[in-house]
Structure 1
Amino acid sequence: MTLSHVSARFGALAAASVISATLLFVAPQAHAASSGPYYKVELAQPAASKQELLRSVFVKCEGTACRAPMASTAPKNMCISIAREFGEVSAFSAGDRVFTAEELAACNGSKKEVIAKN
């Protein structure tokens, strides 16, 4: 192995180390910055409880306004879970997506179906 081969391997190792260190420290910071409220909910009535663990995230409510970070579930399922736990949902958004009246009816209707079955 010549000196140029050793230098090239050392350079590649140094570059890989810099990239790894960058990903190790920068990626968690980017995730932390985006962990604000993703789901924004308006309830028809003030929530009885202030905070519940739903679909692996904490949903926090103050009065009729609820907020939660992104979960690994479909927005429809999160809406249904919130309606079941906190009561009728009058407005729901997941990121930039705002639910229509039909989608809200489906969220709230699922709660009524569960109550009717019991």
Structure 2
Amino acid sequence: MTLSLPRTRLLTVAAALGYTAFTFGALTAPVEARDAAYYKVQLAEPTAQEKVIVRGTAFVCRDDKCIAAKGRSRAEVMCGRLRKEVGPIVSFSADGTAFTAEQIAACNAD
């Protein structure tokens, strides 16, 4: 019975270290490497804000790029609200579809 105790502890420690390494890597991946993003945004200027909440959706920003998972609002609304938080937007795409020049102008005008 004493032989299984160290093995159990070893497995527990190994599992904890593995989980920590996995989640740390997922949380520190570069903005460009996160392909699961629904919204991808290019800002006119870099922002100092690393996380911006827009209508309940968290945008993660680094330098002049921001990404986010799909939110509940229309893409045009998300674009306008994000612009109010981080400044002018150069490009905005939702689910792989890029906004037109007219949509970007409307986003920056709100």
Shift of 1:92: 0.3
The correspondence of residues 1-118 of structure 1 with structure 2, limited to 5 A, is 36-110=36-110
Identity %: 36
Distance 2:105 2:64 in 1: 18
Between the two proteins, the alignment pairs up a number of residues equal to 76
1:71-116 deviation digits (Å, cap 9, x = unpaired) = 0110000000111100000000000211011100000011xxxxxx
Where has structure 1 moved over 3 Å in runs of 4 or more? none
* Cα root mean square deviation, aligned: 1.3
How big is the shift at 1:48?
A: 2.4
Q: Which structure has more helix as a fraction of its residues?
A: 1
Amino acid at match of 2:74: A
What per-residue deviation string (whole Å, max 9, x for no partner) do you get for residues 24-76 of structure 1? xxxxxxxxxxxx31000000000121101111111010000100000011000
| Runs (5+) with no aligned partner, structure 1 | 1-35, 111-118
Which whole-Å CA distance do the structure 2 matches of 1:82 and 1:53 have between them? 8
- Distance, in Å, in 2 between the alignment partners of 1:102 and 1:47 is 24
Secondary structure of 2:84 counterpart: helix
TM-score, length of structure 1 as denominator length:
0.62
Instruction: For structure 2, list consecutive stretches of 5 or more residues without a partner in the other structure.
Output: 1-35
